[in-house]
Amino acid sequence: MAMKGNKYGIHRVIEPQGVLTQAAYRIDNDMDKLYSNEIICDVISLNIDSASFTQIEEACGGDEQKIGEMILGIVAERGKQQNPVTGSGGMFIGKVAYIGEDLKDRDLKVGDKIASLVSLSMTPLRIDKIKAIHKDIDRVDIEGKAVLFESAIYAKLPEDMSETLALAALDVAGAPAQARKLPKEGESVLILGANGKSGVLCGYEAMKAVGPKGNVVGVVRNPKQVDALMELGVYNKVVVASATEPVAVLEAALAANDGKEYDVSICCVNIESCEMSAILPVRDDGIVYFFSMATSFTKAALGAEGVGKDVNMIVGNGYTKNHAEITLNVLRESEKLRKLFDEKYC
């Protein structure tokens, strides 16, 4: 009989002891060790989170071979795909190869294709071979294995869409689910990084949440993106400003909201130093949701204090109840968004 591990995976921590696998520097990725409350998957693809992949790509000068070597090096050293600079990971899709006897009552069987909904920064991973790197969509096809702990969340891949389409959406599933939950009817919402995966999905859910009397405004840096975004129907208005320039964002955002501050802002930008652009346009007692893993919460906290903003700041928790189904349903409901994801991220 297989050994029973800790439900949160602490038994896989090598160093330092006493922390969870996400905070650990190094974890045990030995896939020959079978635990009664783990699931082991044959991994098909890694979806590296946007902030992490951007950092790796820039560090390697865009060279695919170097990107692959860096990823292999990280996993060999740490036992997981956790970017040492950003601290973030991503997610995987794979085929279930082993289910521990303690988890046999789950609606899952060997051979099922699933997407992990927990970060690669805490997931034991072994890479045997990198098969392909897709720089335009932050995806790495591999041969390897990964472990899901008893507490881990995952989603069986749906039958009504391709696995690459489902993965592209599930990679950012926490964001649109929060965009559904945070705004109220008639409120105003500002979305930075409006052209990205999480941005357009947030826009769609925010538009539904605020209704016809609300106002959802997207912020992009490239003016060429405005018309296509408006055509998607996920924003009332789109303004042009760099999210790293908070004064410019503030001016453009207020102009698009009749001079009024916003009830909610959502930051989906995958680069650093965008905290104040999300904070400045929001009213006192409003909500700032930082979905981006490039966020510095030190900068956000001290920055808000420095400008006297009493706002409720939410860490970009990638998990929200029913987030997988909410996100996949966006692609089922919106023909335009599904077409966009098919063309851009698959």
Sequential pLDDT tens for the chain (346 residues): 789 999 999 999 999 999 999 999 999 999 999 999 999 999 999 999 988 999 999 999 999 999 999 999 999 999 999 999 999 999 999 999 999 999 999 999 999 999 999 999 999 999 999 999 999 999 999 999 999 999 999 999 999 999 889 988 988 889 999 999 999 999 999 999 999 999 999 999 999 999 999 999 999 999 999 999 999 999 999 999 999 999 999 999 999 999 999 999 999 998 899 999 999 999 999 999 999 888 998 999 999 999 999 999 999 877 788 899 999 999 999 999 999 999 988 7
Q: Which domain holds residue 231?
A: 174-345
State the total domains in the chain.
2
Q: Do 44 and 190 have their domain in common?
A: no
Same domain, 129 and 277: no
**162 within domain boundaries:** no
CA separation for the pair 172, 253 (Å, rounded): 24
**Length of the chain measured in residues:** 346
Residues 335 and 196 grouped into a single domain: yes
Task: Kindly report the pTM of this predicted structure.
Answer: 0.82
Confidence (pLDDT) at 59:
96
What do you get for the CA distance between the two ends of the chain, in Å?
41
Query: 241 and 143: one domain?
Result: no
**What is the Cα–Cα distance from 19 to 125, expressed in whole angstroms?**
18
227 within domain boundaries: yes
Distance (Å, rounded) from C-alpha 183 to C-alpha 336? 23
Question: According to the model, what pLDDT value does residue 318 have?
Answer: 75
Tell whether 141 and 213 lie within a shared domain.
no
Q: How deeply is 102 buried, as exposed, middle or buried, from its count of CB atoms within 10 A (0-12, 13-18, 19+)?
A: middle
Same domain, 133 and 102: yes
- Do residue 111 and residue 136 come from a single domain? yes
User: Both 142 and 193 in a single domain?
Assistant: no
CATH code of 308's domain = 3.40.50.720
Instruction: Classify burial at 220, counting beta carbons within 10 Å of its beta carbon; exposed 0-12, middle 13-18, buried 19 or more.
Output: buried
- Examine residue 102 and state whether it is found in any structural domain, yes or no: yes
187 and 142 within one domain: no
> Do 106 and 212 sit in the same domain of this protein?
no
Identify whether residues 188 and 111 lie together within a single domain: no
Do 47 and 128 have their domain in common?
Answer: yes
Residues 6+ apart with CB under 8 A from 196: 50, 268, 269, 270
327-333 long-range contacts (CB < 8 A, ≥24 apart) are 327/169, 327/170, 327/172, 327/173, 327/176, 327/177, 327/201, 328/155, 328/158, 328/161, 328/166, 328/169, 328/170, 330/169, 330/176, 330/201, 330/204, 330/205, 331/161, 331/165, 331/169, 332/160
- Show which of 157, 188, 220 is a domain's final residue: 157
Beta bridge partners of 74: none
